[in-house]
Amino acid sequence: MPETDSTGLLRGLLASGAVAAMALAAPAIAGQKLGEPQSIRAPEVIYAKTCGYCHGRNVGPIILGRGLPAESVKYIVRHGQNGMPAFRPTEVKPEELEALAAWVEKSDARKGEHGQ
Amino acid sequence: MSDLNLDRRGLLGAGIIGAASFGLGTGASAKNPAPLAPHMTKADYAGAMKAFRGVVGAEWVFGDEEAVAPYAKVYVPDPMNRHVPIGAVCPESVEQVQELVRIANQYKQPLWPVSTGKNMGYGMTAPATPGQVVLDLKRMNRILEVDADLGTCLLEPGVTYQQLKDYLVENNIPLWIDVPTVGPIASPVGNTLDRGVGYTPYGEHFMFQCGMEVVLADGQVMRTGMGSIKGSTAWQAFKWGYGPYLDGLFTQSNFGVVTKMGLWLMPKPPVYKPFMIRHPNMEDTPKIIEAMRPLRVSNLVANCNLMMSASYQLAMFKRRNEIVPDGAPLDEVSLKKAAKANGLGMWNTYFALYGTEQTVGAIEPIIRASLTASGGEVLTAAEMGDNPWFHHHATLMEGGLNLDEIGLLRWRGAGGGLAWFAPVAAARGVEAERQTALAREIVEKWGFDYTAAYAIGWRDLHHILALLFDKSDAEQEKKADSCYRELVTRFGAQGWASYRTGVNSMDLVAQQYGAVNRDFNARIKHAVDPNGILAPGKSGII
Ligand SMILES: Cc1cc2nc3c(=O)[nH]c(=O)nc-3n(C[C@H](O)[C@H](O)[C@H](O)COP(=O)(O)OP(=O)(O)OC[C@H]3O[C@@H](n4cnc5c(N)ncnc54)[C@H](O)[C@@H]3O)c2cc1C
């Protein structure tokens, strides 16, 4: 929200207080709530917010639409491979990993992904 | 060094011999268990693990090789396999942390606390000495408070930058976060405790930290700053509290387990304008720093600048053998050619302006004039368009999330090897010039590349050298280890010591800071953690 006068910053900040007060009264339904731990995430969410930052973006190889066996996906997530870090059961919960690995195995390729 | 300190250090040395004689691979196995802390018996370890299970449940205690594997993966060179944890325990509350610490005292089982454990290139979750159980705090990931008026938040250790960003976006709170380059999987608490950096004006993370809750080694809970005053509303607003300032004691240290941290968040500015300054020659190093320093010291440029060498930039998205054949040195002609083909110079310096139309409009001409005079081309989104490097840095400088730089890990062969070497100097061109020459001489002698950057802080330089190697090649790993040690000692001899280091070199870096400082840290350690149960070896403190 580019502002054109020097009072814009102040106005923006005041507005932010109002927005936040509303937000605190009625937290967004979908995401993490204040004071609560993150709940179990769907495979699409984990892919978008972890895997997909590298895979399909030239950093890691493409993993969607290749029919990668779920067992291999699980192993690689927990051990890391070459430059890939390992992800612990506290980061990707066991039940999240089960669903994620099955989802990756069955996934379709995505247009726009590129990898080496 | 005190006698007590020597004794403790001697004991840990026994652990090292243990590790070597077991000949461990990347982890231990049932037949070849990772060595216990030297003063412990198998029965002590079994007793501690059983008691841990009683606190957090069996599903959150990991002891066998397969279950510990995710905690054992490291990028740093570790040819002796010293840095292998023997287990992990994962609490979900402060009370559980207190219980675990009490059990650790009872059995003298050392615990290595991590928040999100993505200290990549510094050791991930691996401990500095053998025989430690990782205290994995990732399950404690509540965002406890966000105050949109004051621009503050209170977080548990397991909250990732991604979680915090999502919360702010989903709730339309116009505050920014400030990320290290690997934000999505790392944490504000873990990064700040290792005194990490980011790239908005709030990039010196520890400077923007305000208030902590700490579980001490005896299990007591302490709050710093205003946090111990009943009814105070200023815990996240006033940093210093009363009396000695304590928060620093819990950074890069092993004096407590931090279970909550307050941070300041920057209000989203009305105008954000990223810049890239392209310089054509490696020899431009001093000119760039001399031009940037007055802009930084005066705070006309308010964010931490990254001055990236062509080789570092190319290593993010390219493989080495796309630029020179395998085995050939990374010569300047090939580098220049590849840089040019990708819209890069030999040095590429990124910074941004933040403010209103008027303030940005007023500062921009001053900055353009002095950077153009330094021989650089001043470039913005208008010229750089969707150039992937410009896009990457423009994202970082507004606290955006990506993992582009993990691409560095594929630079050589199968990749997977990275150790950050991060010596500090005052922000003077001549120092950078000398540092670059020395670093190149050392890394090239060992067959590695000078893939480096300078982070230009308010008055300091962090020279950030990514020592990249192929971790699947045992010989290269050994060389990387030796190269790293030579970097630390030869830089140390010139008065340049690291601001932070990996578990592979914590003791060596501590030596550069001298015996008096080491002894003082050791005396604090022995007073607050007499059983040595918290992260022995962190920052060389035992
Ligand atoms: C490509 C790449 C780019 C990077 N760029 C940057 C960068 O720009 N800036 C930067 O700072 N780093 C950078 N890093 C290094 C590192 O990955 C980050 O600093 C990361 O934020 C650290 O991991 P973490 O946040 O998970 O912290 P953790 O790993 O959880 O913590 C770091 C250390 O702090 C201590 N600690 C953590 N939590 C606690 C606690 N609760 N109580 C007591 N002690 C604790 C432990 O010693 C732990 O090892 C980069 C790494 C890579 C691979």
A92-113: per-residue pLDDT in tens?
999 999 999 999 999 999 999 9
Helical segments of B305-426, H only:
310-317, 332-341, 357-373, 381-384, 388-396
Residue A9 in domain: no
C-alpha triplet B525, B531, B533: angle, nearest 5°: 80
Q: Give the per-residue pLDDT at A109.
A: 96
Shortest-distance atom of ligand 1 to CA B418: 53
Residue A14 in domain: no
Summarize the confidence of residues B273-286 as an average pLDDT: 98
Summarize the confidence of residues B284-300 as an average pLDDT: 97
The amino acid at residue B91 is P
Record the tokens describing residue B500, joined without a space.
Answer: 């932070």
Q: Give the per-residue pLDDT at B32.
A: 60
Higher pLDDT, B386 or A29: B386
Q: Which of B73, B179, B316 to mutate to test the interface with A (most CBs of A within 10 A)?
A: B73
How far apart CA B380 and CA B397 sit, in angstroms, is 13
**How large is the C-alpha radius of gyration of chain A?**
20
Helical segments of chain A, H only:
8-25, 43-49, 70-79, 94-106
B183 close contact with A: CB closer than 8 A = no
Summarize the confidence of residues B217-231 as an average pLDDT: 98
Under the banding of pLDDT at 50, 70 and 90, the label for residue A28 is very low
Q: Which residues of B271-302 are buried (b: 16+ CB within 10 A; e: fewer)?
A: bbbbbbbbbbebebbbbbbbbbbebbeeebbb
Domains along chain B with CATH numbers: 6-139 (3.30.43.10), 143-267 (3.30.465.10), 271-506 (3.40.462.10)
B408-441: per-residue pLDDT in tens?
999 999 999 999 999 999 999 999 999 999 999 9
DSSP bridge pairs for B153: B146, B263
Helical segments of B374-468, H only:
381-384, 388-396, 429-445
User: Could you tell me if B265 and B177 are in contact, meaning their C-beta atoms sit under 8 angstroms apart?
Assistant: yes
Query: Ligand 1: distance of its center to the CA of B457 in Å?
Result: 19
Under the banding of pLDDT at 50, 70 and 90, the label for residue B31 is low
C-alpha triplet A55, A57, A58: angle, nearest 5°: 95
Position of tokens 């040690």? B485
Under the banding of pLDDT at 50, 70 and 90, the label for residue B494 is very high
Record the tokens describing residue B163, joined without a space.
Answer: 């979680």
Closest by CA to B110, choosing from B123, B126, B125, B129, is B129
Query: Ligand 1: distance of its center to the CA of B109 in Å?
Result: 24
For the four alpha carbons of B2, B6, B8 and B12, in that order, the dihedral sign comes to positive
Residue A84 in domain: yes
B480 close contact with A: CB closer than 8 A = no
How far apart CA B128 and CA B9 sit, in angstroms, is 12
Q: What does the CA dihedral B94, B99, B103, B105 come to, rounded to 10 degrees?
A: 60
3-state secondary structure of B273: strand
Q: Give the per-residue pLDDT at A47.
A: 98
Q: Give the per-residue pLDDT at B11.
A: 40
Range of the domain at A72: 43-106
Name the helix (H) or strand (E) containing B467: strand B460-470
Summarize the confidence of residues B438-456 as an average pLDDT: 98
- Taking an 8 Å cut-off on Cβ atoms, the answer to whether A49 and B184 are in contact is yes
Q: How many CB pairs under 8 A join A and B?
A: 170
Contact residues, chain B, for A37 at CB < 8 Å:
92, 139-142, 158
The alpha carbon of residue B105 is apart from the nearest alpha carbon of chain A, in Å, by: 24
Nearest to A83 among B90, B117, B406 (CB): B406
B432 close contact with A: CB closer than 8 A = no
Pick the catalytic residue from B122, B199, B354, B454. Answer: B122
Q: Give the per-residue pLDDT at B90.
A: 99
How far apart CA B125 and CA B494 sit, in angstroms, is 31
**For residue B465, pLDDT beyond 90:** yes
In percent, the amount of chain B with pLDDT more than 70 equals: 94
Q: Which of B321, B322, B406 to mutate to test the interface with A (most CBs of A within 10 A)?
A: B406
How far apart CA B503 and CA B121 sit, in angstroms, is 9
Ligand 1 proximity of B137 Cβ (cutoff 6 Å): yes
Name the helix (H) or strand (E) containing B464: strand B460-470
Contact residues, chain A, for B471 at CB < 8 Å:
82
Active-site residue flag, B500 = yes
**For residue B34, pLDDT beyond 80:** no
User: Could you tell me if B471 and B450 are in contact, meaning their C-beta atoms sit under 8 angstroms apart?
Assistant: no
* Ramachandran region, residue B124 (left: φ > 0; alpha: ψ -120 to 50; beta: rest): left
Contact residues, chain A, for B358 at CB < 8 Å:
5-6
Active-site residue flag, B122 = yes
Pick the catalytic residue from B45, B312, B454, B499. Answer: B499
Q: What is the total count of domains within chain A?
A: 1
| Pocket perturbation via mutation, ligand 1, pick of B92, B115, B420 by most ligand atoms within 8 A of CB | B115
Q: What is the pTM of this model?
A: 0.93
Nearest to B270 among A2, A21, A50 (CB): A2
Q: Give the per-residue pLDDT at B8.
A: 54
**For residue B334, pLDDT beyond 50:** yes
What CATH number does residue A100 fall under?
Answer: 1.10.760.10
